[in-house]
Amino acid sequence: MTMIPIGLPDSSEADESGEDVSDDFSCHSNWRMLKQMQASSGFKFLALVIGGGITFVFTVVFYCDTLLIIRHLTPDFTGTNVIIVAPLVKCNLAPGEISFALSEGVSVNLPSSISTHTDLACWQAGSMAQAVVGMGLQGTLLFLDASLHETLPRALLAAAALRQRAAVVVWNHASAQHLASRPWVKLLQAAQPDNALWASVGSNLLDDRLAKDISCGKRPHCGCSDPQNTYVDCLAGAFSLVTLPLPDQVDVLRDTIQRGKLSGIQGCPSAAFANGIAAKVLWSPDNSDGVVETLPRGKPAPEIHMLVDCGGDNATHPSKEAMEQSLLNRLWAGVDRYHGAQPLRKNVSVTMANCRSMHKKIPIAKASFVHAERLDPAKLFSTLSSLDVYVTVGSDSRDHVSIIPQVQMGGVAVLSIGNALSKEVFEEGVTGFTADTPSEVHQALESIDKRLMGNVLKRQIHESALTRFSARGALEQVILGLFPALATSL
């Protein structure tokens, strides 16, 4: 019997077959994993797209809601016609014109330099007129001249024809006092619409005195006829609002107004705060190392240039000399501490102005100094590019309130000795410093010294002043003071 062998696979063939099966399983497994990863990544991508879309929509909705809230909280000045009365026609804000219409697209001819009090007042009134244009409002720029009795009634008629509320803003309080005494002004106000109100703006108002309390005798230029001093009761019956650039002054003025009402004065204006207006033209970033004769540079070594302004008047306030000297002693002691902490520190170059106690030599070991006696503010403005620190000495902030905005616009730090100036005047520790002790003077000089390099401090102070002392901010405050319903209707 023949036996036929059964064919069995060779062991090597079996191995190969097992490898093929294993490879097929591995490929299928990898393919499934790849499919799962693709499905998973597709889901993640889809989730990312959906999540991003939801976030985008939420962001847009939140942004729009925020804009609506801000718009709702911002007063709407639309419908306000602003009539600015500048102090003098020779301001040249509108060359050849006695009346200049303010509307979108027009430009006011602001002074290119500040060398006199008139230049500063013109710049402030002109910048407020430019703010009218910037706010999208209509109005008129007028001048305190012989033709005002014709141009002002026409401006009020134009506002009435447009059915707009009229805000007559007179710059400054001395000009307002002059207008309030004019018979034609009283006749005009008797005929004007009820929504035409007048405001007196500036810093030259005596907040704690009334003209009726002044004993003038036979002096012709006294009381409401005084060209230098302005009293709130002289504005009664003609002006609805007076503004001052310091909240403390406003508080004192309100007490004075209340006292006037109790004594029988009718039609007293209300008092409100409006920030000071600084002249942008005082900023000279390219001339920060300029040399000024009244502020000695001394040796080529770096110095801190300091102007000490006591704001005093020897003839009027002799009793303040002792207080002034005490405050000056604190300043000198602080400067000595500054030098003593590190002998290689910058020297301090000091110029003293408007001080009652004028010494032959300042008691500071390392300092150069000059006594300038009376320093006209206009002359001060021409020296700003060489100054680093403006020091106010005295307990009365009114002595310096008109100067402080201007020096900060010029990039000069303020150091107040003996008077805590309000936050509306400067930012404590950044653009200005209040020091009551020698140690605080030392700390302030340390901070100033560290930031003088590269003009960093000057630029920081200037940029802060652009916002803090803007004409637009002041104008908005004046309009809200005249028409408080614009704020209460929010």
pLDDT value, residue 347: 81
For residue range 253-285, list pLDDT tens digits in order. 999 999 999 999 999 999 999 999 999 988 876
Please, what sign has the CA dihedral across residues 116, 305, 354, 474? positive
Amino acid making up residue 74: T
Are the C-beta atoms of 390 and 375 separated by less than 8 Å?
A: no
For residue range 101-140, list pLDDT tens digits in order. 999 989 898 887 776 666 788 889 999 999 999 999 999 9
CA distances from 193 to 50, 166, 270 (A): 60, 9, 19
pLDDT value, residue 291: 35
Q: What average pLDDT does range 207-226 have in this prediction?
A: 87
The confidence band for 92, taking pLDDT boundaries of 50, 70 and 90, is confident
pLDDT value, residue 174: 92
pLDDT value, residue 304: 87
pLDDT value, residue 28: 60
Amino acid making up residue 8: L
For residue range 62-88, list pLDDT tens digits in order. 666 565 554 555 788 999 999 999 987
pLDDT value, residue 365: 53
For residue range 363-377, list pLDDT tens digits in order. 665 555 566 666 776
For residue range 307-348, list pLDDT tens digits in order. 988 876 544 555 677 888 888 889 999 998 988 887 767 788
What is the average pLDDT value for the chain, to the nearest integer?
81
Q: Is 40 exposed, middle or buried (0-12, 13-18, 19+ CB in 10 A)?
A: exposed
pLDDT value, residue 290: 38
- Name the packing angle between helices 321-341 and 438-451 (round to 10°): 50
| Residue 107, number of CB atoms within 10 A of its CB | 8
pLDDT value, residue 457: 86
pLDDT value, residue 452: 80
- Backbone conformation region of residue 250, classed left if phi is above 0, alpha if psi is from -120 to 50, else beta: alpha
Secondary structure string (H, E, C) spanning 299-349: CCCCEEEEEEECCCCCCCCHHHHHHHHHHHHHHHHHHHHHHHHCCCCCEEE
For residue range 397-454, list pLDDT tens digits in order. 676 788 899 999 999 999 999 877 777 788 888 888 999 899 999 999 988 888 887 6
CA distances from 18 to 13, 24, 27 (A): 9, 10, 14
For residue range 149-197, list pLDDT tens digits in order. 999 999 999 999 999 999 999 998 999 999 999 999 999 999 999 999 9
**CA–CA separation, 303 and 448 (whole Å):** 12
